[in-house]
Amino acid sequence: MALQKNYPKYTASVTQQHWCHGILQRRSTWGRKERKRMKMLGMVVAIGRVAMGSLGGNVQAEVTKAPFGTTTVGEHTGKQVDVYTLKDAALEVKVITLGARLMAVNAPDKNGKKADVVLGHPDLAGYEADRDTYFGAVVGRYGNRIAKGQFTIDGKQYDVPVNNNGQSLHGGLEGFDNRIWSAKQIPDGVEMTLVSPDGDQGYPGTLTAHVRYTLKGPDLRIDYSATTDKATVLNLTNHAYFNLAGEGNGTILDEKITINADRYTPVSSVLIPTGDLPSVAGTPFDFRTPHVIGERIEAENEQLKIAGGYDHNWVLNGPNGTMKMAAKVVDPKSGRTLTVSTTEPGVQFYTGNFIKDGAITGTGGQAYVRRGGFCLETQHYPDSPNHPAFPSTLLQPGQTMHSTTVFSFGVEK
């Protein structure tokens, strides 16, 4: 989400960007130093296209809709949930209307064999029963944490439900992940819409949110937009868990990650940012060059102990509101790669520390293990409403929030 204080202009508007054969062309020009730095990191948007072969970039993705099930829990009991399948030569993607969730991404390995690389449940009942993992969901109204569930707008304090160690996580007890979104087919994908009324979970303003999933070749693009009729705070992100070896295929500790960030936001004992933005240099949080995820995850480091591994926000290099590389992950065995680009200022790298061994049976019938998936949640920083120095998450009436994230899948042989 890209919001700035000089309203109502938004630097992250998708109208300020254009696409050509699935590759984002930036209208703004980065300085020579930044371009050189990005080149050194090996971070190129949609890396791996050549290895993926001919992907039919000008051919629209096939989009189909089917019933996924009928809800049996909560206020939406008896409501139908649909699954939309987006398919082209490179990928097959499934999205469901409960929580606007990314349910599956079938991607090829270096030998052309496809596997689902997104963790999830095999049926609707699994998603309804699971209130802990947020598998694949769009979380909100405020993704990540707000300290003590409190924030102030124009001198008025608002209180939202606390549901995680005395803090508010992912919008509260009944966040956007637990809502049935309306949906319609669009070229190359599906657009989902949710209207959150004034006072929903304590948040001010009637908020209308739109999330578009579109597929072009190896690129799965998510566009977020929202408007409000009263000043509110907003932080939308997708909570997909990835395992590039295939969901249910062990841990992600052998996969290698690069994160385009010089700084990160350390947290307190309840995972709320302290407000400091220290350098990652000399710490287990330095992923400016590729490191195996499990290489330092058990290091003697207070921040790793607090979170039980990685569950922190990295401050991305590059201007807020412009498309930039966030991270790249490589699975050495399958050769699959995932490159994440975003207009957001931060990314939460989470290593599935709270997945309980054997507690969940995934879509492929295999029991999930602790650290069996990683998340790369593009976002504004946690608890931004209580940190004036952080990029603002305030949305005013008459403004439209725009944000874009692209998950690009490839292979390295």
**Total residue length of the chain:** 413
Classify residue 34: in a domain, yes or no: yes
Q: pTM, whole model, 2 decimals?
A: 0.88
pLDDT in tens, the chain (413 residues): 444 333 233 333 332 333 333 333 333 333 444 444 444 444 433 334 434 433 445 689 999 999 999 999 877 799 999 999 999 999 999 999 999 999 999 999 999 999 999 999 999 999 999 999 999 999 999 999 999 999 999 999 999 999 999 999 999 999 999 999 999 999 999 999 999 999 999 999 999 999 999 999 999 999 999 999 999 999 999 999 999 999 999 999 999 999 999 999 999 999 999 999 999 999 999 999 999 999 999 999 999 999 999 999 999 999 999 999 999 999 999 999 999 999 999 999 999 999 999 999 999 999 999 999 999 999 999 999 999 999 999 999 999 999 999 999 999 98
Query: Of the listed 377, 380, 387, 402, which one is catalytic?
Result: 377
Q: 202 with 161: CB under 8 angstroms?
A: yes
Alpha carbon separation from 79 to 68, 178, 409 (Å, rounded): 11, 12, 34
Write the pLDDT tens digit of every residue in 337-347: 999 999 999 99
pLDDT of residue 24: 36
Q: What is the mean pLDDT of the chain?
A: 89
Beta strands in 109-188 (DSSP E): 114-116, 138-139, 145-146, 150-153, 156-159, 168-169, 182-186
Classify residue 9: in a domain, yes or no: no
Classify residue 3: in a domain, yes or no: no
Classify residue 6: in a domain, yes or no: no
Decide if 21 is catalytic: no
Tell me the two tokens of residue 315: 């401050």
- Rounded to whole angstroms, how far apart are CA atoms 282 and 296? 12
Q: Which residues contact 397 (CB under 8 A, 6 or more apart)?
A: 205, 227, 228, 229, 230, 231
pLDDT of residue 59: 84
Write the pLDDT tens digit of every residue in 182-241: 999 999 999 999 999 999 999 999 999 999 999 999 999 999 999 999 999 999 999 999
Classify residue 145: in a domain, yes or no: yes
Residue closest to 111 by CA, chosen among 157, 53, 172: 53
CA 65 from chain centre, in angstroms, equals 23
Total number of domains in the chain? 1
pLDDT of residue 75: 79
CATH of the domain at 226: 2.70.98.10
Decide if 170 is catalytic: no
Which phi and psi (to 5°) does residue 53 adopt? 85, -165
Query: Of the listed 121, 239, 312, 387, which one is catalytic?
Result: 239
For residue 31, what are the domain limits? Answer: 14-411
Classify residue 7: in a domain, yes or no: no
Alpha carbon separation from 181 to 56, 62, 194, 224 (Å, rounded): 30, 21, 5, 14
pLDDT of residue 58: 67
Classify residue 2: in a domain, yes or no: no
Classify residue 1: in a domain, yes or no: no
